[in-house]
Amino acid sequence: MQTIPESIPQFESEKKYHYIKTSPIDGEVVCEFYGADENTVSRVCEAAYQEFLNWSKVPPPKRIDLLTSIYNSILNAKEELVDCIQTEVGKIREEAVGEIQEALDIINFCIGLCRTLEGRIFPSERINHFMFEQWHPLGVCGVITAFNFPVAVFSWNAFLAITCGNSVVWKPSELAPKTAYTFMKILKNECEKQGFGNLICAVFGGPETGSFLVENNRTALISATGSVRMGSDVAQKCAKNFKKVILELGGNNAVIVHKDANLDLAVNACFFGIVGTSGQRCTSIRRLILHKDVFEQFMDKMIRKLEGVVIGDPRDPKVMMGPLISDAAALRFEEVVHFIKNCTDSEILYGGKLLDGFPVRNYVQPTLVKVNTPFDLINNETFAPLVYCFEYEDINDAITLNNSVPQGLSSAIFTDSLQVAFTFLGGSDCGLANVNTSTSGAEIGLAFGGEKQTGGGREAGSDSWKNYMRRQSCVVNWGGIFTLSQNINFPS
């Protein structure tokens, strides 16, 4: 059995938190490891801090050399990484390859950013004064990630962070340690070759190791991706120390299908939003809000597609949907279905079953639930391919329903009416709002993130890089005469 070290750079930890990672595909053991303890986390953060002092002096355009060599080495190791993601997370090949592509895309973006990290100039009210903003790196950025995108989400954070002159300490998910270790070996090797061996470090373990990273006084920023419960804990700990935080938490994403929508387009897009990554994307569709005139037609088409979904070992090219990540996730799915059947005024239109005939009980059917009377559980994210379906008449009611949950990550509408589309874009309270494409499947060019309990963080494209830097407002008086603002004439 492969044993993964507690940290990179390697330090010996107390052997207290033991983890055995098994594959969600068949229950086979993948690796074992001990979680990094507080002392190890401290030593790793200190090493990363010392490297930050070196790296932050490298002019941003010179940082391109390292990013380029990392890009090439990821490309060379693509098959190894895809294999890890499939075995550990249970993704089909197409999606695992897409995840590596996302890492490469963000590096491309960062390479451009190295020459365009800009500050703005502002007019001063004082004569012969020059006002501008500049941006400085923060120091050590702690990055905590969820299991479902073990390479991509870390990449959004880490490559932006180093582009901005920071160093990074990663606490990957305890459910995807081998992928993280394999990825880290590639990064460490490239960083070492260029003389910055501790620029990107890692501490392995579960929530306790994550907490040590959050509370370590060398981390200037914590970027945490995961459940709302985790984010709430991290946010409170960071607030105590006025530490910067980027939170990317759970979603409860809705798609509205208006009566004038192109139904085939809507069904095809929503199909991936329901089935993709076995419903374990933060942007997966959790709710379908369908106009009453198209409800039946949409459902007929969707159910026909769902009947054709091949569920099984994701390494088989015919398979479209792999397992859920763990027994606990499948049990949660089963409990929710049981509750829906027995305690609510709802109807299971399709699915609802855990599948037999596999070595583990992690395989579930994609499931559609027609909600007649809403119930509290709809406010929670069930991290599985389970979708609540609603009927509406008035578009304003549909938007109100879209906004009625505590989370605010992704939202979408299908319509051929500009008026309806823009009413929705103005009305959705989510960080992401799409027209005629699904909630799921973001590009790196835009800022990614959501509002309300999703945490308010923004990562990846647009000006998200500013979250990894501190702003400095500067005034230069070049005229040789002291002048006060607001016309204050103070006797000198």
In single-letter form, the type of residue at position 279 comes to G
Q: Closer to ligand NAD by CB, 222 or 256: give it.
A: 222
The verdict on whether 347 is a catalytic residue reads no
Q: Considering the complex, what minimum distance in angstroms separates the CB of residue 231 from ligand NAD?
A: 7
Q: Considering the complex, what minimum distance in angstroms separates the CB of residue 454 from ligand NAD?
A: 6
Q: Which two tokens stand for residue 109?
A: 């973006």
Q: Considering the complex, what minimum distance in angstroms separates the CB of residue 174 from ligand NAD?
A: 5
Alpha-carbon gap, residue 249 to 457, rounded angstroms = 9
Q: Considering the complex, what minimum distance in angstroms separates the CB of residue 268 from ligand NAD?
A: 23
Q: Considering the complex, what minimum distance in angstroms separates the CB of residue 209 from ligand NAD?
A: 7
The verdict on whether 282 is a catalytic residue reads yes
Query: Which one of the listed residues 45, 282, 389, 430 is annotated catalytic?
Result: 282
Which region holds residue 143: left if phi is over 0, alpha if psi is between -120 and 50, else beta?
A: beta
Q: Closer to ligand NAD by CB, 83 or 233: give it.
A: 233
Q: Decide if 360 contacts 273 (C-beta within 8 A).
A: no
Element (H, E) at 375: none
Q: Considering the complex, what minimum distance in angstroms separates the CB of residue 109 from ligand NAD?
A: 17
Q: Decide if 316 contacts 92 (C-beta within 8 A).
A: no
Q: Decide if 280 contacts 383 (C-beta within 8 A).
A: yes
Alpha-carbon gap, residue 166 to 48, rounded angstroms = 9
Q: Which two tokens stand for residue 457?
A: 């963080």
The position carrying tokens 């089909």 is: 92
Go through the chain and tell me how many residues it has. Answer: 492
Q: Considering the complex, what minimum distance in angstroms separates the CB of residue 281 from ligand NAD?
A: 7
Q: Closer to ligand NAD by CB, 214 or 364: give it.
A: 214
Half-sphere exposure of 492 (CA within 13 A, CB side): 6
In single-letter form, the type of residue at position 477 comes to N
Alpha-carbon gap, residue 34 to 141, rounded angstroms = 23
* Spatial strand order in the sheet of 129-137: 121-122, 129-137, 469-477
Torsion of CA 141, 144, 148, 149, to 10 degrees: 10
Alpha-carbon gap, residue 204 to 175, rounded angstroms = 11
Q: Considering the complex, what minimum distance in angstroms separates the CB of residue 229 from ligand NAD?
A: 6
Q: Closer to ligand NAD by CB, 207 or 374: give it.
A: 207
Find the angle CA(393)-CA(399)-CA(400) to the nearest 5 degrees. Answer: 95
DSSP, collapsed to helix, strand or coil, labels residue 167 as strand
Alpha-carbon gap, residue 150 to 152, rounded angstroms = 6
Q: Closer to ligand NAD by CB, 120 or 240: give it.
A: 240
How far is residue 306 from each of residues 267, 324, 331, measured CA to CA in Å? 11, 17, 22
Which residues of the chain form contacts with ligand NAD (CB under 6 A)? 144-149, 153, 171, 173-174, 206-207, 210-211, 214, 225-227, 230, 233-234, 248-251, 282, 381, 383, 409, 450, 454
Query: Which one of the listed residues 6, 95, 102, 248 is annotated catalytic?
Result: 248
DSSP code of residue 422: H
Q: Closer to ligand NAD by CB, 110 or 409: give it.
A: 409
The position carrying tokens 């012969």 is: 128
Q: Closer to ligand NAD by CB, 335 or 393: give it.
A: 335
Q: Closer to ligand NAD by CB, 21 or 258: give it.
A: 21
Residue nearest to ligand NAD (CB): 210
How far is residue 22 from each of residues 132, 145, 176, 326, 337, measured CA to CA in Å? 53, 19, 10, 9, 26
In single-letter form, the type of residue at position 6 comes to E
Count of other CB atoms within 10 angstroms of residue 102 = 20
Indicate if the alpha-carbon torsion angle 137, 140, 146, 152 is positive or negative.
positive
Q: Considering the complex, what minimum distance in angstroms separates the CB of residue 242 from ligand NAD?
A: 18
Active-site residue list: 248, 282
